[in-house]
Structure 1
Amino acid sequence: MKKYTLRAFSLLLIVLSMYSCSLDEYNPTEVTGDETLATFDGWKGMQTYCYSPLYDQMFSASDYLAVAEAGTDIWLTSKNATNTQQLFYYEGLTTSTNATNKLFKQAYSIINTCNAIINRAGNVADGNADDVTVLTAETHCLRAFYYLVLVTNYGNVTLSLDESTTNAVLNPKRNSVEEIYAQIVSDLTYAAEHLKTTPYENNSARVTKKTALGLLARAYAQGAGEGLKENG
């Protein structure tokens, strides 16, 4: 009887000792987005995402082609089909039409990411300063490109340069075409000044000084077509 009592008592001590132990574990899910973007790796990872529309749906699907080219006289619908008459003949065309709506949302979604990268660049705690400068310049170039897509196809849209918060803007205000082109020129000028002719990390998929200058020339040409002049 004493033998069984001793075993039971020993087992009880073991159980109690297990409950008294504490283990400090790192939970990666508790890391906030702000903390991630304060590190160079996290910030750079999101910066790379700013390129995603260029190899994803914006150009790999027919939506951009439909918006940019379908309304010209070089395109006709097959057998006079009516399912694409909004884009091919501008009959009933609205911003809620699938292709136009998709392109619009894609551009604004990634512009918000660009805004976050640009505005948070100064908060990156680690990483090489030159790398941060180059990647920030890349993002200025990309933001300018996406706004060039918007102003070319949608006219005077809303110009947003701040990262969106949880408070949605339910009544956005349109900016003038002049204001939008001025920001595009500003972004591309900054990019051209800080980018090199060779791509970052020799990655040919990244934008360079040549990219920024080429887009800047396009912006000036299109702006002139709108009757705009630099500095008024």
Structure 2
Amino acid sequence: MKIIYLLIPCSLLMASCGKLLETTPTDFLTTENYYKTEEQLNYALHGVYDRLGASELYGDKISWTYNSSTDESYQRSMPSVGVTVNSYEASSSDINNFWRVCYEGIERANVLLANIDRPVMPEKNRDVIRGEALFLRAYYYFILVSNFGDVPMKLEPTEASAPMQFPRTPSAEVYAKIIEDMTTAESLLQEQTITKLGFSGRISKTAIQAVLARVNLYMAGYPLKDESKYEDALNWAKKVVESGEHMLNPSYEQVFINYAQDKYDVKESLWEIEFFGNSLDTYRETGRIGNNIGVLCQDVELGQCFASVNATIKLYNLYEEGDHRRDWNCAPFVFTGRTNAVKTPVTDNWTKNIGKWRREYETLTPKHGNNTPQNFAIIRYSDVLLMLAEAENHVHGGPTAVAYDALNQVRRRAYGKPLDVPDACDAPAGMGQAGFLKFIQDERSRELCVEAVRRYDLIRWGIYLSTMKEFAEYIMSNAPEKLLKSAIAAQNLEEKHLLFPIPLREMSVNSALKGHQNPGW
């Protein structure tokens, strides 16, 4: 099943600016003449989901623009300015658009929630829509607070005539509201299991639980450092595991082939952003997953990819022999030829493309030169297992059998081994709390590289600056001369980059933000 998202017209989000005719218009949508049926509520809900797939978020840039400035990847063109290399200002269009799209999603959710009680419909169905809208609004705020810190927290629709006076809300309060709304959503969606849904593009009970585990881990780390949240993260992760609805796909590679072929593996993939079509058909809900980030290919029929992102030597070296993830995530080949392209081996470990999303597996034809139907996972079951292991280690002052089991399931899958049989690839026994955490930090990179979590992980662990400094030193001492510039993101990194700046445009129109920019900006 594929959700075809409806873009709710702007007329639903703001009042008319003026009277163009003496007669009252009746042929366009407003909040007054919409939201009258259950079907219209569902269309509006699809509009709330829609902004997550925008190119400014999971449709393109969240995977390689906002998160390339880590030790996992670097831009192949090695630019000297931009978000990817930590050289930007509050006037950056990327920063402004990132902020804008999140608030568009929030506004759509606010409008829906303000009108949700209007139609006559079964209350059970209304509760499901309410739960999804509350969760999605909270998720947009989670994106904002983890990137910008204190942000304006709007919980009502914007009045067109109201002045732009929305002060920043402290991060702790924003997080508290996120937890409140997501917890409410989880209680409202008790019967919306992923097994019943049969696909991962819509929020299920266990997807909410998994995201709540992630949110609590972020709260436990920098900057809030509320260590009590480790136990909450552990409890939410355990709910996912104990639901019995999820397990790892035996093949790491197949996980991403499924995303390319629009096949739903609801046991592995808890929540994914859906894309559809080839920009040549009726429904144009494509993204660029596999086009900007993937294996270099100029053959449009096979699936053109600009391969804008390479794996770092650090990522490549994190893998040991026998780990299937290495040659999937760090592609050992490129495609050569504009037609009938063939695989050409790449033996230089410093210049391997990120190969996680591969267009050769797409089944929808004809393929578009830029746009793709590949889905993007927000959270997978392997992430839940690694979060459980991390939280279990912290709560108990060291790794328990439960923590080792969760970690080793991920590792055994990576080596093509049975998930429930001890193997030589298992994590070393006898590690202390600090050693186990370090192992988890590396394992998350091996498993989840370039899935838009590394930067946030490094920040919450409080090691972003030190890790990138060490990475830059290694590059400058060991890289071939032509690749020294791949250290530029690490060299440019300053403490101010722990948060993005509040967009200059927003500061200029929202008078309550003036004088309240993030430190260093």
**Residues 64 and 99 of structure 1 are in contact (CA less than 8 Å); yes or no, is this contact kept in structure 2?**
no
For 1:117, the aligned partner's letter is L
Deviates more, 1:150-159 or 1:48-57: 48-57
CA distance in 1, matches of 2:137, 2:216: 16
Greater percentage in helix: 1
Using structure 2 for the length normalisation, give the TM-score.
0.36
2:71 to 29, 50, 73: 73
| Correspondence for 2:347 | none
Greater C-alpha radius of gyration? 1
| Correspondence for 1:218 | 214
**Residues 63 and 102 of structure 1 are in contact (CA less than 8 Å); yes or no, is this contact kept in structure 2?**
no
CA distance in 1, matches of 2:42, 2:83: 38
Give how far 1:64 is off: 5.4
Give how far 1:198 is off: 2.2
Q: Could you report, residue by residue, the CA deviation over 1:18-70 in whole angstroms, capped at 9, with x for unpaired residues?
A: xxxxxxxxx85166422211332222211111110233422122255312x12
| Correspondence for 1:102 | 97
Q: Which secondary structure does the structure 2 equivalent of 1:37 belong to? A: coil
Matched, 1:146 2:140: yes
Give how far 1:154 is off: 1.0
| Correspondence for 2:202 | 206
1:40 to 21, 38, 63: 38
For residues 1-232 of structure 1, the aligned pairs below 5 Å read 28-29=26-27, 32-57=30-55, 58-63=57-62, 65-67=64-66, 69-78=67-76, 80-82=78-80, 85-94=81-90, 96-124=91-119, 126-195=120-189, 196-198=191-193, 202=197, 204=199, 205-225=201-221, 226-228=224-226
Change (3 A) 1:42 1:113: same
Change (3 A) 1:127 1:65: farther
| Correspondence for 1:17 | none
Q: Which secondary structure does the structure 1 equivalent of 2:44 belong to? A: helix
Q: Could you report, residue by residue, the CA deviation over 1:183-207 in whole angstroms, capped at 9, with x for unpaired residues?
A: 1001110011010342598362210
For 2:107, the aligned partner's letter is N
Q: Which secondary structure does the structure 2 equivalent of 1:134 belong to? A: helix
**Residues 36 and 118 of structure 2 are in contact (CA less than 8 Å); yes or no, is this contact kept in structure 1?**
yes
| Correspondence for 2:331 | none
For 1:50, the aligned partner's letter is V
For 1:154, the aligned partner's letter is F
CA distance in 1, matches of 2:129, 2:109: 11
For 1:215, the aligned partner's letter is V
CA distance in 1, matches of 2:218, 2:134: 19
Using structure 1 for the length normalisation, give the TM-score.
0.76
Structure 1 gap segments, 5+ residues each: 1-26
User: Sequence identity, in percent?
Assistant: 21
CA distance in 1, matches of 2:197, 2:149: 36
CA distance in 2, matches of 1:131, 1:40: 8
Q: Which secondary structure does the structure 2 equivalent of 1:188 belong to? A: helix
Aligned residue pairs, count: 199
Change (3 A) 1:200 1:118: farther
Structure 2 gap segments, 5+ residues each: 1-24, 230-521
Q: Could you report, residue by residue, the CA deviation over 1:136-179 in whole angstroms, capped at 9, with x for unpaired residues?
A: 10111111111111111111111110011112442320000001
Change (3 A) 1:78 1:200: closer
CA distance in 2, matches of 1:63, 1:153: 11
Change (3 A) 1:91 1:37: same
